[in-house]
Chain A
Amino acid sequence: MTTIDLSAAMITQAPPLADWLVVAPLVLCMVLGAVLLMVRKDTQIQPVIAIPGLVALVLVDAALLAHVWMNGTVTMTMGRWLPPFGIAFTVDILGALLTLTGGIAALAGGIFGAGDVNDSGRRYGFYPFLFLMMVGVSGAFLTGDIFNLYVWFEVLLISSFGLLILGSERGQIDGATKYAFLNLVATTLFLIATGYLYGIFGTLNMADIALKAQTMDDKAPMVTLVSMYLLAFGMKAAAFPANFWLPASYHTPRVVVSALFGGLLTKVGVYALIRVLLMLFPAERDLLGWVIALIAAATMVLGAMGALAQTDVRRMLGYLVISGIGVMLAGIALASPAGVAATVFYAVHSMIVMTALYLASGMAARASGSFSIAEPGGIYQSHVVLAGITLALFFAVSGLPPFSGFWPKALMVKASLDVGAWWLAAAILLTGFLTTIAVGRVWLLAYWRPAPAPPEEASTGAKAAAVTPVHALSPLLDFLPLVMLTALVVLIGIFPQKLLELSQIASEQLLNPAEYIRSVFPTEGLQ
């Protein structure tokens, strides 16, 4: 009987304990999701478990980001099989940063959900689905294997279906049907492209692909491949012309679910685009650069114009999400270090701001009783703080200083002017202008405009009922997440240096994946 020397195929030394942070967000979400599924009927316990869990998630994500920042890209392989055979989780600054931001958005949603989602919604499984969605989101940001990325996409999709039909109203089922089919097509495209990719490269590990793509001579199949990925992830990210599923469905679910979707899901698509186009196939991306630039310009301008035409605040926000995606795509189209850094920065900003805006719109609707801007709200009269916060968020989303939206947009404009793409810069500025008009109108009509005076003949009792809000807003559960997110927006706006530095490191790591590859294959040496 002979023994086989496995050291060539397996890792034999123990991984350092700190590397466990790589899988910690996933494991934490899975365990909590599982526990919450088990206590699904007990609606009182759920938030008590979920909110500390989400706080722990944010802490773990922050620790992971700090670890990656200090020690460079970290890899952990599953089951000791060395890559490219084993599935690897590889985290660089980009992945860690987006995971942390996603965790913060989820925490805000979780706290808000404690007040917003009623007992039947909780029994239906709001918190378990929230955690399972976070499993998918974190997994997608952290994985280093392209098929694994597909699996995480599906995990987050299926749990997002669960969240989307929470409550089973007619509009929700209608929106969910369209959302489900369009996303099914997108993920299937992703899978087809991955099948071809495996046929060409014979590997699925991202670092391995990046290595082999550099030496691949035959460009034709790879350009096809990259176009398919562009279409698949573009559909996910709701880029023009595949963006119609988003405004058809995002306004139907509960507002906290919309907030999470608007903050997280499309950004996963953008992340996948960044990863695949910039890191894996930079040469092919250069060929398609002008296509991506056109898509970017069309997405942002049409998104902003769509926002102008909406009466429902939530649908307007849906279009603003799309327009933000356009700005992020512009950085991918430019592929210069400054442009990619702006994309990363904008992704972080957009995750926070869109979550906060949906939450704010939900609170405004509870205060005034309607999502429509055609009906006067008078929220400024009744809720000064809410109106102020919303104004700050509106400024942030349209890219006015001193809020977080200003810096990435300024960077992006500068980056596009640097390479001579003046029309892209013009599109970004035009988008900012149109967005300002759209949100300014919402604020004027729904917040500033006084509520109609109750009819004269109404009794004093009726008058009092008209003045008091439809539902009281609780200071802890409703305002805490909103204030937390807005504080972040303001902080990033006033002190952008740290985040800027992080996004610049992330962009360098993306455009020069040597460190990523070295982290997965330590023996490959300096290539």
Chain B
Amino acid sequence: MTLLVGIFFAVAIYLFLSQHIIRMVLGAAVLGNAVNLLIFTSGRLTLEIPPILTGYETTTGMLTANPLPQALILTAIVISFSFFAFLLVLSYRAYQELGTDDTDEMRFAEPENQDLPPLGY
């Protein structure tokens, strides 16, 4: 499990270092899953007994799976999903508007060779 998390992180970072936005978007998706697995692992791995009380007992009497990491991961999945959707739209729009998906060529907000500010009147 730990190894898997490591591999996921490595892939995500490799993709993030790429020049092309679309690869970075994919990297973001992988990164989200890496973190989810990490949270899952840090919540201790146990047998798959659902922590659900049926009827009126107060404890299940067995060691159950930890529900909190699952809740956290669910939240994180929702958030990373919406993030991914937004990034996809954004990079699609960037490709349409800027005509490139190469981050080195994206210099519209900060043009190169700007003039220095004037030093006096």
Do they bind each other?
yes
Closest approach, in angstroms, between the C-beta of A315 and any C-beta of chain B?
8
A151-B79, A309-B117 are known contacts. Are A180 and B86 too (CB-CB below 8 A)? yes
- For A, the interface residue count at a CB cutoff of 8 angstroms equals 47
Which of B16, B32, B69, B110 has a CB less than 8 Å from the CB of A198? Answer: B69
B-side contacts of A252, CB under 8 Å? 109
A-side contacts of B72, CB under 8 Å? 147, 195, 198
Which B residue sits closest to A199, measured CB to CB?
A: B42
- A248 to B58 CA separation, bound complex (whole angstroms): 56
A188-B35, A311-B115 are known contacts. Are A154 and B83 too (CB-CB below 8 A)? yes
Tell whether A1 is near chain B: CB-to-CB under 8 Å: yes
Interface size class of B (residues with CB under 8 A): 35 or more
Closest approach, in angstroms, between the C-beta of A158 and any C-beta of chain B?
6
B-side contacts of A236, CB under 8 Å? none
Cβ contact within 8 Å between A147 and B75: yes
Tell whether A310 is near chain B: CB-to-CB under 8 Å: yes
Cβ contact within 8 Å between B106 and A174: yes
A144-172 contacts to B (CB < 8 Å): 147, 151, 154, 158, 161, 165, 168, 170-172
Q: Is the interface of A mostly helix, strand, loop or mixed?
A: helix
A-side contacts of B110, CB under 8 Å? 247-248
Tell whether A463 is near chain B: CB-to-CB under 8 Å: no
- A433 to B92 CA separation, bound complex (whole angstroms): 44
List chain B positions with a Cβ less than 8 A from chain A.
16, 21, 24, 28, 31-32, 35, 38-39, 41-43, 56, 58, 68-69, 72, 75-76, 79, 82-83, 86-87, 90-91, 93-94, 97-98, 103, 106-110, 114-118, 121
List chain A positions with a Cβ less than 8 A from chain B.
1-4, 147, 151, 154, 158, 161, 165, 168, 170-178, 180-181, 184-185, 188, 191-192, 194-196, 198-199, 204, 247-249, 251-252, 308-311, 373-374, 441, 445, 449
Assuming A181-B87, A194-B39, A198-B43, what are 19 further A-B pairs, CB within 8 angstroms? Answer: A147-B72, A161-B90, A168-B93, A170-B97, A170-B108, A173-B93, A173-B94, A174-B107, A191-B39, A192-B35, A195-B42, A196-B38, A199-B41, A248-B109, A252-B109, A308-B117, A309-B116, A373-B118, A445-B118
